[in-house]
Each structure stands twice: as structure tokens, then as C-alpha cells.
Structure 1
Amino acid sequence: MGDWLSENGWALWMVAAVLLGITELLSLDLFLIMLAAGALAGGLTAVVAPDLWWLQALVAASVSGLSLGLLRPTLLARVRSMPGYRSSVSTLVGRPGRVTVAVADGLGEVKVDGQTWSARPYDETMELDVGTEIEVFELDGTVVVVYPRHLGLEGS
């Protein structure tokens, strides 16, 4: 068994790279693919130096670390700056909802897309009763800024 591993260590690295790559398809976070790149580099090192496991692990860890530290932030910034990109939270803007806890004195709760959010009105002097239909104007941290759908933004 030990002889097989020393002669075919590259195959283990390739299996790890493929599994990490496939798992990346489920998360789409550009994290596991960087580890897959490290495993691929470890596999290539295993082809050149099959008996030096420590070197293979060092190369795999170095490539993974450099990819995570240098390449991933750049790729994420590019993806997030592409036209049409919206994070899952920013898709709340413009969504309808309903007041679940009266919004008074600038704070209350609303339900939007089945999730409960702390809310404040677009106009700080406005009070919204339970059951009022609202629309999300913007996000302010973890608080949604809302306005009543029937009045619109200008109150008309």
C-alpha cells in the first residue's frame, strides 16, 4: 500500500482537486476552488517528486494560501462590480411586505418575503399600523427603510 501511495500520490491530489472543484459549484463562493488549485499544484509536485510528501503539502498549502489571499479578493471584486449583480440582501429593495409590529417612533417590524426585519419608516414622523402594506425603500445595516405602498414616497 505504501509503495502504491508513493507511486500514485498524484492521483490522490487530483481526486481532492476534482472533489473540491465540484463542491465549489454548490457554494459559488470562490473559496473551495482556490483549495482545488492548491491540490492540483500538490498533484503536479507529486509527479515531479513522488517521495517528497512534505514538499507536495507545502506547495499545495502555498498555492492555496496565495490564491485565497491574492486571487480570490480580486475575482470577488470583479464579480460584484459586474452589471446586474445584486446580493441576496439588496434584492429586498422594492419588495412588498406587511407590518407585523407597529412602526412607531422610528422602529417596528415588517415581514418581507417570509422573513421578519426590523424596520423604520422613510419619513421619521410616519407611523405604520400592523397589517399596513409596505415597500422596501433601502437597507440601513440590518434595518429596512420602508414606506406605505398605497401612499408612495411623496405621501400622495
Structure 2
Amino acid sequence: MLPDLTQYLWIAWLVLALVFVIIELVTLEFTFLMLAAGTLIGGLGVNLLGGPWWLQVAAAAVISALLLFTIRPLLLWALHRSSALHPTNVDALPGLGARVMVPFVEGAGSVRLDNGETWTARLVGVDPGLVVGSRVIVTAVRGATVEVAPESAPAEGSPA
């Protein structure tokens, strides 16, 4: 005699929830996470309360749909709200100050950026007679070389 398969339906709900969680780990869109929660709350929950299989399926579907259309948009909004782009690495260099380490000869020299890195530099425009220790501003990064321009002189009467 075959056992009644509905008494083992709780295993199917756990396996389905586990599959949804694994898929969610790959997609990272909160869709399958909501389906897994609906499966656990609706399907497994009604199963543990002794509900028939059709009520388990209906509860899992309804709760999954509610979560998909209510909680998921709020989670996505919260996630994207705090994801403003912050420039890093080479993208953060333009606008950074620097000091001349090696005087510019024919537009080429060396600077130490305010973040502590030393870079080969190209001077943009005419050399205003920059000496070692002069302040410059990074205007662009071209490969392993930064383009720099002299820092604007402070206005008269303002502290240096």
C-alpha cells in the first residue's frame, strides 16, 4: 500500500523555498525571495496547521503575490535610495590637489597627490614657473599620467 503523499508535502514546501532562495542568491532582485517567503508562510504554514493541499497552494500564491507587489517595491526603493555613485580609484582623482615633486620640463613632471600617491604628470597649458612644492589640481587621468593645472591663486586679502 502506498503512503499518502500529502503527509510529506511539508518536505516539498521546504525544498521549493530552498530552491527559490538559491535562485534569489543568483538574481538579487528580491523576486524569488518573496516567492520563498510566500512558500514558507503560506504553503508550509497552512500545512503545519493541517490545511488541505489546495488551501496550501492558494495561500502560498496569495501571500507570494502580496509580498511581490507590496514589500518588494519598498525593498528596491530603499536599496536604490542609498546607492548614490561615489567615484573611486582613478575616477576620484580629477579635482584632487597635488604638490609638484619634480619640476616640469617640457610639460612633463611628477606630482604627489593629496591622497599620498606619486604620479607622472603633464602640465595643461603654459608653464607658469612651477617649482617643487607648488600646488596643482588634477584635471584628468590619461593612462598612468595625470594632467594637472596650476592651482588658482587666492584672492588678495584672503588667507592662503
Give the TM-score of the pair, scaled to structure 2: 0.50
CA distance in 2, matches of 1:60, 1:2: 27
Question: Any conservation in 2 of the 1:46–1:56 contact (CA below 8 Å)?
Answer: yes
Structure 1 runs not aligned, ≥5 long: 95-132, 134-149, 151-156
Change over 3 Å in CA distance of 1:79–1:3 after alignment to 2: same
Residue identity over aligned pairs, in percent, reads 35
Structure 2: unaligned runs, 5 residues or longer:
92-141, 148-160
AA of the residue aligned to 1:19: V
Following superposition of structure 1 onto structure 2, how do residues 1-16 of structure 1 map, counting pairs within 5 Å?
3-16=3-16
- Give the drift of 1:19: 1.1
The Cα of 1:2 is off from its aligned counterpart by 6.5
2:59 maps to 1:59: yes
Q: How many matched pairs?
A: 94
Matched to 2:39, the amino acid is: A
- Counterpart in the other structure of 2:78: 78
Given residue 46 of structure 1, which amino acid in structure 2 is its aligned partner? N
Q: Which has the larger radius of gyration?
A: 2
What is the SS of the residue equivalent to 2:45? helix
SS of the equivalent of 2:48 reads: helix
2:50 is matched with which residue? 49
Give the structure-1-normalised TM-score. Answer: 0.51
Structure 1 residues 1-156: aligned runs within 5 Å: 3-40=3-40, 41-50=42-51, 52-82=52-82, 85=83
CA contact (8 A) 1:13 1:39 kept: yes
Kindly report structure 1 stretches of 4+ aligned residues shifted beyond 6 Å: none
Distance 1:2 1:39 in 2: 26
> Following the alignment from structure 1 to structure 2, what is the Cα–Cα distance between the partners of residues 16 and 28?
18
Question: Aligned to 1:34, what secondary structure does the other structure show?
Answer: helix
Partner Cα distance (1:2, 1:11) in 2: 17
| Paired residue type of 2:57 | A
Post-superposition offset of 1:81: 1.0
Structure 1 residue 3 displacement after superposition:
3.5
1-side partners of 2:12 and 2:43: how far apart? 10
